[in-house]
Amino acid sequence: MKTATTFLLVFFLCSQSNLFAQENRLNKEGEKEGRWKEYFKDGKLAGTGVYENGKKEGKWTEYSDWHHITIKVRYKNGKKEGKEIWCRNQKFFKTRLKLKKVSKIAGKIRFKNGKRNGRSISYHKNGKLSSTGVYKNGTLEGEHKIYWENGNINRKEIYKNGKQEGEWHWYSKNGKLEEKGTYKNGVREGEWTTYNEDGSVNQKAMFKNGRTKDEYPIEVINTDNTNP
């Protein structure tokens, strides 16, 4: 009995050491190879996946302390490729046959050759839409919308080659317009207007190349005669 127990103990220790040896190893060239677990400075798990010749390859699971996000992503030759899915509040519950993993989708985006490419969508913790937009070659392109947690629109934006362009709108949580104006090549241009809660105009300013006529970057002209 004692001999059998000793044998089992030795077998367990050897199997554990072999398992550890199979992870976080380097090849002859000193490059990361095989399955790896990576950690943040505080010791928390940052990601798990496979390296080939020092580059990430295939499916990876990555983690973020930001809102406890779990990221499912694929790599090709060290660069992100295809769909990336962000999951929130990943939990396990027991079924008759196995532990089943459930989580809420926090967002989705596609990558091409390591750059964001295609439609992006994200959600608040309560499941309501947080933002929608389109990326082209790593930068935002076209209309981008951001939403409050109650579902109302927060901001409508337009981008061209990754820079602000065209008319932008800001809204309060109750859906009322707070500010609007125009961007040109990433800077404010033309008339900008802010609004009071009742919808009346609060302030206006004219911008040229991102500055008002007095060359202050964010100065506004007060149009309310009761508050000089």
Domain endpoint, select from 89, 112, 135 = 112
Q: What is the mean pLDDT of residues 21-36?
A: 87
Q: Tens digit of pLDDT for each residue in 104-144?
A: 889 999 999 999 999 999 999 888 999 999 999 999 999 99
Q: Is residue 2 part of a domain?
A: no
Query: 129 is in which domain, residue-wise?
Result: 124-216
Let me know whether 162 and 192 are in one domain: yes
Stretch 33-44: mean pLDDT: 92
**Taking 90 as the threshold, does the pLDDT of residue 19 lie above it?**
no
On whether residue 66 sits in a domain, the answer given is yes
Is residue 165 assigned to a domain? yes
Residue 117 lies in a domain: no
| Residues 49 and 76 grouped into a single domain | yes
Considering just the CA atoms, what is the radius of gyration of the chain in Å? 26
Q: How many domains does the chain have?
A: 2
Which SS3 state, helix, strand or coil, does residue 156 take? strand
Q: Once rounded to an integer, what is the mean pLDDT over residues 171-183?
A: 96
**In contact, 73 and 80? CB cutoff 8 Å:** yes
Residue 149 Cα distances to 7, 85, 96, 119, 169, angstroms: 59, 20, 36, 21, 18
More confident residue, 94 or 47: 47
Domain boundary among 62, 87, 112: 112
Residue 23: per-residue pLDDT: 82
Judgement on whether residues 27 and 65 belong to the same structural domain of the protein: yes
Segment 3-22 shows an average pLDDT of 43
pTM over 0.75, yes/no: no
Residues 169 and 88 placed together within one structural domain of the fold: no
Mark which of 77, 112, 147 sits at the end of a domain: 112
Does residue 119 form part of some domain? no
| Domain membership flag for residue 169 | yes
For the segment 39-60, the average pLDDT, to the nearest whole number, is: 94
- Domain assignment present for residue 10? The answer is no
Q: Specify the higher pLDDT residue, 209 or 215.
A: 209
Q: Domain holding 71: CATH number? A: 2.20.110
Same domain membership, residue 132 and residue 197 = yes
Residue 221 lies in a domain: no
pLDDT recorded at residue 83: 93
